[in-house]
Structure 1
Amino acid sequence: MTDPGAAFVEFDRVQKSYDGETLVVKDLNLQIAKGEFVTMLGPSGSGKTTCLMMLAGFETATHGEIKLGGVSINDIPPHKRGIGMVFQSYALFPHMTVGENLSFPLEVRGMGKSEREGKVKRALDMVQMGEFAARRPAQLSGGQQQRIALARALVFEPQVVLMDEPLGALDKQLREHMQFEIKHLHESLGITVVYVTHDQSEALTMSDRVAVFDDGRIQQLAAPADLYERPENSFVAQFIGENNKLPGTVVALDGDNSKTEGKIATVKLEDGATCEALAVKCGGPGSKTLVSIRPERVSVSSEPGPNSTTAQVLELIYLGDHIRCRLNVHGNDEFVVKVPNAAGHKHLVVGETTQITWDAEDARALDPQ
C-alpha cells in the first residue's frame, strides 16, 4: 500500500518501553488498508506481539500514535475500539455454552435478545459450527474451540480482527486446514485482519503482506512472494524459508561503482573462489557481503557458467517429491540443494563429487551477518 490516505490501521512513529530505557518497539511506521490481511512475523522478543497488544489497547504506546480509520485510539479503552481478538488459548468462558460465549460481547454492547440470537447464528454458520450452540467448550475439540473463538471475534462485526498465534495449539494437519479457513473467511467477509505468528508458512499462506520483525523494527514489509524471492537483508533471507549463505568480499561490480543495487557483483568467497550475485544490500569493491541462494534455485548440472562449482555430497534425505541434498560447497558443509524426484534429474550418491550451478540473478549479495 503506497497511498497514506488509504490507511485504515496506522502506526505513526510508535515506540514502546516497559522499563523506561529499553525499547521493545522502535519508531514503528506501518499502514494497513481496509480489508487487508497483514501478518506480523518474527522470532520471540522481536516486538510483534507488543504491537498487536498496543493496537488492541491492552498495552499503551510510550511514544507515537495509533490510528483506526484516521482517528487516534491511544486514549480509547479496548472495549470501545471495535476490535475483535482471537488468542492462542481460545479464552472461552468454560461455564457458558457456545451460544452464550458468542452472545456475551453483544450483551456488553447493549444489544437486544432477538438481534443477538440472529448474529450468533450467523457467526456460528460462518465457521460451520451451527449445531454446537448448546455445548460447552470442554465438550469440543481444540479445532472446534478455535472456530468458536474466531466466531466470537466476528460476531459483533468489528472493524478489525486481531489474531495472536491463534493456531499454535493445534496439530500440524489441523493448523494447515485452519489457515485456509481463516483466509477464506477473510476473503468472503472483507474484514481487516492483523495476525501475529512466528510460523513463516502461516504468514506466507495467508497474508496479503507480511511485516518481518526483528529487534523491535520491521526489517521488510512486502507480499509473501517478494519476501521469499527478494529478501532485502540477510535476516529476512535466513528467517523466511531455507537459505544457503556464502560469506565473501565484493571484488567488482558490472559497470561503474557509483550505484550498487541491481548490478551483478563478483564476490570472492572465503576459500578464494569467486561467484556472481545480484547486488541488493552490499557496498562496492572491498566490502564484506553474504551471498544468499535458495536451495531450489541450485541445479545439479555440468553446464558451464560463472557460478559452476564442484560439491561433495554429504547427505541425502528422501522427501517424496524431492531429494534434500546436503553438500560441501566452498567450505560450507550445510549447503542444501533440492533435487526433484523426477525423470531426467541426476541420481546422487553420498560421498561422490558432483557439479552444481546457479544463475547470478538467483543469488543475492546482502549485508554481512
Structure 2
Amino acid sequence: MLRHKREPILADTKQNDSFVEFERVQKSYDGETLVVKDLNLSMPKGEFLTMLGPSGSGKTTCLMMLAGFETATHGDIRLDGKSINDIPPHKRGIGMVFQNYALFPHMTIAENLAFPLEVRKMGKSEREQKVKRALDMVEMGAFGNRRPAQLSGGQQQRVALARALVFEPELVLMDEPLGALDKQLREKMQFEITDLAHNLGITTVYVTHDQTEALTMSDRVAVFDDGRIQQLAPPDELYEQPQNSFVAQFIGENNTLSGKVTKIDNAKNTCVVQLDSGEEIDAVPVNVNAVGERTTVSIRPERVETNKERLSPDAHTLKAEVLEFIYMGDIFRTRLRVAGSTEFVMKTRNAPDQPRLRPGEQIEIGWLPEDCRALDA
C-alpha cells in the first residue's frame, strides 16, 4: 500500500490551533525525582505525532497522563482548549491501542467492539452499524463471530485498532502497538495505521522506541531523553538536522569525531574543528558557541563518498583504512579507520562505479561541509 506524505506540520512546540496541549507538565512518582520535566507540547487536529525515546525517557508516562491513567504532579493538560487534569479516563473520549491488544477472550470480535458503545448507552441497531463500519475499515468484516484466540497476532491488532476507532474518537493513543508482531507484518501495519489515521482525520499520539517506525509513520516526532523533549520536528528534519548529539546518535546510524572549535564564521554559518587526530575540517555550528569549545562532529554514513567525481571542490577529504566491507544487496557498508576512530561507517549504493573494497586497503574519503554538524561534546 502506497502512502502519500502530507505536507509537514511546522516544528514549533506551540500551535495556534492546538488540540492537544501540555503546559509545564511535570511528573514524579516519589516526590523527588522528575520522570517528566517541564513538558511543553502542542498538537493541531489531525496530526500524527510520535513520542520516541529509550526506556525510562518519559514518553510512556506522558501518554498515560494524556489518557488519564497517570496524574500530572504539576502543570496542565488540555484537550480542545479544556483542561482534562481532573477528568477520569473513561470520560475523556480517547481511543487507546496497546501492545498486548487487551481484547476480552470470552467475547466475539463483534462483542469486543460493541463493548465501548454499550458503556456509552448506545442503542443496539446503532451499535451494530458502527461495529460493522469499524471492522470493514480494518478489513476484518468477515471475522465478527470469531473469538480473539482464533485470530493471528496481526488480526488481533487490527481488531484492537478497530475497537479504539469504533466510537469515533477525535484522539487515539497508541502505546507500542506493533511491538509483538514480526518484522514484515509490523511494516505492513505501519502503513495501514497511518493511512487510516490520515484518511479519517484522527489526531494520533504514538509511543515507540523504534526509530524506523517513528520516521516512517509520523508527521512530527518528539525525541525524549531524561524526561525532556530533546527535539521536535518532522522526520526528515530530525534525521538531516539533529540539534544535539543524543538525537544524532539515537536517530539512524551516525559517525562522530571529537575535536575542538578553532574558528567560527557566523556570517557564513560555518566553523573550523581541529580533530583530536590533528586534521582540520569545516562544519555547520549547531551546538557550539565559542572558539576553544570541545565538540562532536556528526556525519551520516550515506553522505561519505569515495568517488571524487561526486564531490564538489569544497568537499573535505581524509585518509582512511578499510577494516570491513559488507555486501548488503542494495548498498555496501564499509567500516573504516578514520582520524583515530575504528567505528567510522560509509554506506554506498551498489552501482557499477562503486568499488568493492578490501580490508587493509588505503583510500581517501570525503563529504560536503554542510553535511557535517558540530554538536555538543
Please indicate the TM-score interval, normalised by the length of the shorter structure.
over 0.9
Q: Which whole-Å CA distance do the structure 1 matches of 2:252 and 2:141 have between them? A: 38
1:47 aligned to 2:50?
Answer: no
1:332 aligned to 2:341?
Answer: yes
Deviation at 1:332, TM superposition (A): 0.5
Instruction: Work out whether residues 276 and 306 of structure 1, in 8 Å CA contact, stay in contact via their aligned partners in 2.
Output: no
The one-letter amino acid of 1:136's match is R
Provide the secondary structure at the position in 1 that maps to 2:75.
Answer: strand
1:7 aligned to 2:18?
Answer: yes
Q: Which whole-Å CA distance do the structure 1 matches of 2:315 and 2:275 have between them? A: 13
Cα offsets for 1:4-24 (capped at 9, x unmatched): 330000000000000000000
The count of residues paired between Structure 1 and Structure 2 equals: 363
Match of 2:270 in 1: 264
Task: Select 1:350's aligned residue among 329, 341, 359.
Answer: 359
**Mapping of 1:54-69 within 5 angstroms?**
54-69=65-80
Q: Which whole-Å CA distance do the structure 1 matches of 2:269 and 2:225 have between them? A: 27
1:290 aligned to 2:301?
Answer: no
Task: Select 1:278's aligned residue among 275, 284, 290.
Answer: 284
Instruction: Work out whether residues 314 and 369 of structure 2, in 8 Å CA contact, stay in contact via their aligned partners in 1.
Output: no
Deviation at 1:219, TM superposition (A): 0.2
Cα offsets for 1:32-90 (capped at 9, x unmatched): 11000000000000000000000000000000000000000000000000000000000
Q: Which whole-Å CA distance do the structure 1 matches of 2:165 and 2:308 have between them? A: 56
Q: Which whole-Å CA distance do the structure 1 matches of 2:171 and 2:315 have between them? A: 50
Q: Which whole-Å CA distance do the structure 2 matches of 1:87 and 1:95 have between them? A: 19
**Mapping of 1:1-369 within 5 angstroms?**
1=10, 4-254=15-265, 263-302=269-308, 305=314, 307-368=316-377
Q: Which whole-Å CA distance do the structure 2 matches of 1:89 and 1:306 have between them? A: 50
Deviation at 1:302, TM superposition (A): 4.5
Q: Which whole-Å CA distance do the structure 2 matches of 1:153 and 1:23 have between them? A: 31
The one-letter amino acid of 1:286's match is G
Instruction: Work out whether residues 305 and 357 of structure 1, in 8 Å CA contact, stay in contact via their aligned partners in 2.
Output: no
Instruction: Work out whether residues 275 and 306 of structure 1, in 8 Å CA contact, stay in contact via their aligned partners in 2.
Output: no
Instruction: Work out whether residues 307 and 354 of structure 2, in 8 Å CA contact, stay in contact via their aligned partners in 1.
Output: no
Q: Which whole-Å CA distance do the structure 1 matches of 2:194 and 2:308 have between them? A: 43
The one-letter amino acid of 2:307's match is S
Q: Which whole-Å CA distance do the structure 1 matches of 2:47 and 2:154 have between them? A: 25
Cα 1:55–1:341 shift into 2, 3 Å: same
The one-letter amino acid of 2:36's match is V
Instruction: Work out whether residues 77 and 84 of structure 2, in 8 Å CA contact, stay in contact via their aligned partners in 1.
Output: yes
Cα offsets for 1:174-217 (capped at 9, x unmatched): 00000000011011100000000000010000100000000000
Deviation at 1:329, TM superposition (A): 0.3
Q: Which whole-Å CA distance do the structure 1 matches of 2:81 and 2:197 have between them? A: 22
TM-score, reference length from structure 2: 0.94
Instruction: Work out whether residues 9 and 67 of structure 1, in 8 Å CA contact, stay in contact via their aligned partners in 2.
Output: yes
Q: Which whole-Å CA distance do the structure 2 matches of 1:163 and 1:223 have between them? A: 19
Q: What is the CA RMSD across the aligned residues, in angstroms?
A: 1.2
Q: Which whole-Å CA distance do the structure 1 matches of 2:158 and 2:15 have between them? A: 34
The one-letter amino acid of 2:88's match is P
Q: Which whole-Å CA distance do the structure 2 matches of 1:306 and 1:352 have between them? A: 22
- Unaligned 5+ runs, structure 2: 1-9
Provide the secondary structure at the position in 2 that maps to 1:5.
Answer: coil
Match of 1:259 in 2: none
Instruction: Work out whether residues 220 and 235 of structure 2, in 8 Å CA contact, stay in contact via their aligned partners in 1.
Output: yes
Q: Which whole-Å CA distance do the structure 2 matches of 1:187 and 1:263 have between them? A: 38
Deviation at 1:347, TM superposition (A): 2.5
Q: Which whole-Å CA distance do the structure 1 matches of 2:354 and 2:225 have between them? A: 39
